[in-house]
Amino acid sequence: MPRFARALLLALMIVSAQAGTAAASHQWKTWHFNMAGNTQEDGRSDPVGPIVDSLTINPGDDPKFVSLNEVCENQYRELMARLPPAWHGEFAETVDTDHYDGLCDDGGDIPEHDYGIAVLIRGDVVAGSRYVKELPHPSYERRKLLCKTAEAAVWVHTCTTHIDNEFPEYTQIYKDDQIRAVKEYVEPLANDGKRVVLMGDFNVEPQSEKLDRFYHYTMFGGGAHGIFEEVDQGFETCRCGAATHDRGKIDYTWVNNRDWDVLDGSVHNAITASDHHILRGLIRVNH
């Protein structure tokens, strides 16, 4: 083989190897958990240790993007105090002690605390990138969307939300409005070339028409008209997934289809007294 051809082949091999390394380095784990910090734990610190262990058990291979729903503020603050310095977090209160007696107070044994949702990111974040959007809501719980931007070799807008549950019946119209409001924020970001990771308890199952606006229109058929995939959608790309609650699959991790490949998704038993399971995902930047 002529010297020039050998040099060209070697250069191509180096570029290919570098591309493979870059692709691997842009592969990250996600972790979502509705921890029922008030209803099941009543503000006790008991769940904090198991969560820290779950997030840090494999250094270098831990989740990158984490979402917590139903977390008491004191639990969140203790969690952040116990995590290594590489972790950054944001908390958004959705119920405060002025609107709910006995909130996160361990039956009166500790002071009351606010309650809400949280995003955690392992690694660098963009200063001042916290974003909170209040969703339509009918009651004392002010449903919200909470986001933070990660600088993880690429720009990643990491968000969490907790949509109204099934009862009382009048929340149903608000549930649809809440899901629409979340979509109206994250979809323009994705269409503008931003990478989005959206996690949360949506309190509807995959076949619900309320999720038509998320499921990607070219992949899922039916009424789907969104641009997102979900980590636990299965190898055959269905609107499915393992149950995350005794009512079925109601917890999700969404990523915009154009910018991410979904590699894996799995549901794991709760590590605390929560009535939800943990949803884990594995995603990779595809360009």
pLDDT in tens, 106-128: 999 999 999 999 999 999 999 99
The answer to whether residue 6 is domain-embedded is no
pLDDT in tens, 205-245: 999 999 999 999 999 988 999 999 999 998 788 999 999 99
The answer to whether residue 9 is domain-embedded is no
Per-residue pLDDT at 15: 35
CATH number of the domain enclosing 119 = 3.60.10.10
The answer to whether residue 14 is domain-embedded is no
pTM tops 0.75, yes or no: yes
Q: In what order do the strands lie in the sheet with 195-201?
A: 131-134, 144-152, 154-162, 195-201, 251-256, 228-230
| Beta strand extents in 163-259 (DSSP E only) | 195-201, 228-230, 251-256
The answer to whether residue 188 is domain-embedded is yes
pLDDT in tens, 156-191: 999 999 999 876 666 677 999 999 999 999 999 999
The answer to whether residue 20 is domain-embedded is no
| Beta strand extents in 153-194 (DSSP E only) | 154-162
Task: List b or e across 212-244, with b for residues whose CB sees 16 or more CB atoms inside 10 angstroms.
Answer: bbbbbeebbeeebebbbbbbbbeeeeebebeeb
Q: In what order do the strands lie in the sheet with 65-72?
A: 87-95, 115-122, 65-72, 27-34, 278-285, 260-268
The answer to whether residue 3 is domain-embedded is no
The answer to whether residue 15 is domain-embedded is no
Report residue 57's pLDDT band, with 50, 70 and 90 as the boundaries. Answer: confident
Token pair 């549950």: residue: 165
Fill in the DSSP letter of residue 282: E
Q: Pick the residue with more confidence: 1 or 102?
A: 102
Structural domain span for residue 120: 28-285
The answer to whether residue 8 is domain-embedded is no
pLDDT in tens, 8-36: 344 433 333 333 434 456 899 999 999 99
Count up the domains in the chain and report the number. Answer: 1
Per-residue pLDDT at 198: 98
Nearest Cα neighbor of 67 from 281, 284, 283 is: 281
> Per the structure block, which two tokens stand in for 76?
């969140």
